[in-house]
Amino acid sequence: MIQYSNGRITIFQSALFQTTSTVVHLDDFVLVVDPNWLPGEIREIKEHVAAVQGDKPCYLLFTHGDYDHIIGYKAFPGAKTIGSAGLAHHPDKERKLELIRDFDATYYVTRDDPVAFPELDIVIGEDGQQVTIGSTALTFYLAPGHTEDGLFAVIDAEGVMIAGDYLSDFELPFIYHSAKAYEETINKAKRILRDHPVRLLIPGHGRYADDRAEMDRRVHVALDHLMRLKEAVFDGDEEALGQLKLEHGFLSETTMECHKENVRIMRKELLGGAVRQEGQTLNYAIRPISDQDIPFLWDMLYESLYVPEGGKPFGREILQDPAIAKYAEHWGRPGDIGWIAVTDDGQPIGTITARLFDESNRGYGYIGPDVPELGMAISQSYRGKGIGTALMKALFDELRKQGISRVSLSVDPNNEAAVKLYRRFGFTDVDAVDTSITMVADVERTAYSFGGAKGEEDIENR
Ligand SMILES: [Zn+2]
C-alpha cells in the first residue's frame, strides 16, 4: 500500500513488519529503495516505477542487507545498485537468502523473480560520500549499530532522508551489531538533521515523519532507550530491564528476542571501557583469551608476582618454576577461563584467569578440585584505571554462566589494592600461608553486588 506520495516521492508500506520501500522520481533517474516484501507488493512498486520511469535509468539503493530489505532486488533488472561497503562484503549473504527461502516455503509464497543477494555497482565506504547522478546529488552516511552494513541517504534537493532501520515511529532500537555504534549512529542522524534541509524522514519500518518535532522526538526516544538500557545492564537492575522490554511495540516472541539480544550485546560491550592515558582517552575491549594471547599471558603471570615496594624483582626464569608455570602452561585445557583487556589499537593490557587444580597439583590458593583459582594482572602503566574491575566482572559473568559456585585466590596481604578489590567482589579470607592469604568468593552472591562496583584500584596478585 502507499503510505505517502507528493508526486515525486512515493512511500510504499508492506503488510509485513510495516517495512517501507521508497521510490523517488528525479529529473534524471528513478531511485528505488529496498523494494519489498510480498510478490503483489513488489509488483505494485514495479508498476509504479514503470509508469514514471520513461527512458530514465533506475537506481536501486539498499539501506542494509537484512532479508526484508533486499527481497525485491531481482525485480529491477538493469538497475544500478548502491549500498555500503559492509553490504558488499556482507559475511552472511547465504544466510540472508535462506531466511527468504524459509519464509516463502513456510507461507507457500511464489515469486515472479528469483532471490539473490545484491551485487553493488556503487559502493559507499565513507561518511558524507556524495554520488551525483545527472543533476542530483545524493549524500550517504554509514549507519552501523543495527547491522554493520547500515546506510543513511540524504537527497538535499528533495529534502528527504532515508534512515533504514533507525528512527521508526514504533520500533525501538534493535541492536544486533553494536550498542556503541548504534548510539553513535543516532547521534550522527541528529547531526544530519541539523546540517541538511530534511523535510521528510523515512524509516525502514513504520511511518514517515514530516515535521521536525517528530524527527527530534524519534532521536530522543532511541537515545533515551539506549541510555536506560545501559544503566539497567550496568546496575544489574532486572526490574528496569523488564520495563524496557515492555516498551517495545507489537510485543511478541520477536520483540522479546530483540530485547534479549540488546541486553546481551550491551552487557558484552559494557565489560570494556575507556581509560585516560598520557592525556588521551583510550578505549579497550574485553574478550576471551585465545591462542594468540598466550605469550602475553606468560608476561602477565610474571607481572602478577607481587614484589613489595623496594623489594628486588624476580628474574624472568622464575616462570620456569613449576609452582608458577602451572598457572599458564598448556593454556586452553578444559575448565580454563580467561579474559584479556585489549586497547582499540590492539595492545593487550591485562588478563584474568581461572583454572582448576587438584590435590596432586595444588595452586597457592587451592581449596578444592571443583573451585577454580583466580589469577589477574594489569600492565604496570594501566593500573588504577578500573580495568581490574572490568576484568573481574567479565570473569564472574562467565563463572555464573557456567554454573561455577565458588572461586578462590591467593594474595599477599601487603598488596592492599588487590585485597581491597577482591573484598569488593565478595572475597573473604579462609586461610593464611606464609606470606599469602587464601580468599574465596561465592559467585552467585557477588553477581548481585555489581551495582556501584566502579572502583579504580591497582591490581596485582599472588
Ligand atoms: Zn528491517
- Assess whether 48 and 145 both reside in one domain: yes
Last residue of a domain, one of 179, 203, 233: 233
User: Residue 241 C-alpha to ligand 1 middle, in angstroms?
Assistant: 24
Is 78 within the bounds of a domain?
yes
User: Do both 317 and 195 map to the same domain?
Assistant: no
411 forms bridges with which residues in the sheet? 437
Q: Which of 200, 233, 266 marks a domain boundary?
A: 233
Whether 165 and 81 share a structural domain? yes
Q: What distance in angstroms lies between residue 166's CA and the mean position of ligand 1's atoms?
A: 9
Question: Cα(68) to centroid of ligand 1, in Å?
Answer: 6
Ligand 1 mean position to 230 CA, how many Å?
Answer: 23
CATH number (domain holding residue 78): 3.60.15.30
Asked whether residue 27 falls in the same domain as residue 169, the answer is yes
In the chain, how many domains are there?
Answer: 2
Domain edge (last residue) among 233, 258, 289: 233
CA of 120 to the centre of ligand 1 (A): 19
Residue 235 pLDDT > 70: no
State in Å: Cα 429 to ligand 1 middle.
Answer: 53
Distance from C-alpha of 47 to C-alpha of 287, rounded to nearest angstrom: 51
Please give the Cα distance from 112 to 367 (Å, whole number).
Answer: 68
Does residue 458 register a pLDDT over 60? no
Is 130 part of a structural domain of the chain?
yes
Quote the ligand 1 centre to 88 CA distance (angstroms). Answer: 18
Cα gap 425→445, rounded to integer Å:
9
Q: Please indicate, yes or no, whether residues 375 and 424 belong to a single structural domain of this protein.
A: yes
Residue 247 belongs to a domain: no
Residue 248 has pLDDT above 50, yes or no: yes
CATH number for position 283? 3.40.630.30
How much distance in Å is there from the Cα of 105 to the middle of ligand 1?
Answer: 20
Please indicate, yes or no, if residue 321 is contained in any of the structural domains.
Answer: yes
Using the mean position of ligand 1's atoms as its centre, give its distance from the Cα of residue 174 in Å. Answer: 10
287 CA → ligand 1 middle, Å: 29
Q: What is the pLDDT of residue 406?
A: 97
Measured CA to CA in angstroms, residue 162 lies from 46, 353, 439 at distances of 19, 47, 57
The alpha carbon of 267 and the centre of ligand 1 are apart by a number of angstroms equal to 23
d(CA 330, CA 328): 7
Query: Tens of pLDDT along 59-108?
Result: 999 999 999 999 999 999 999 999 999 999 998 899 999 999 999 999 99
In a domain, 224, yes or no: yes
Strand, helix or coil for residue 115: coil
Q: 293 C-alpha vs ligand 1 centroid, how far in Å?
A: 38
- d(CA 161, CA 138) in angstroms, rounded, equals 10
Which of 87, 230, 240 is CA-nearest to residue 150? Answer: 87
The CB-side HSE value for 131 (13 A sphere, CA atoms) comes to: 23
Instruction: Examine the domain organization and report whether 202 and 291 are in the same domain.
Output: no
Answer yes or no: pTM beyond 0.85: no
Q: Do 118 and 202 share a domain, yes or no?
A: yes
Q: Does residue 454 belong to any structural domain of this protein?
A: no
Rounded distance from Cα 212 to ligand 1 centre (Å): 23
**Does residue 457 lie in a domain region?**
no
Q: How far is the CA of 203 from the centre of ligand 1 (A)?
A: 9
What is the span of the domain harbouring residue 439? 274-447
pLDDT at 266: 85
Report the C-alpha gap between 71 and 349 in whole angstroms.
45
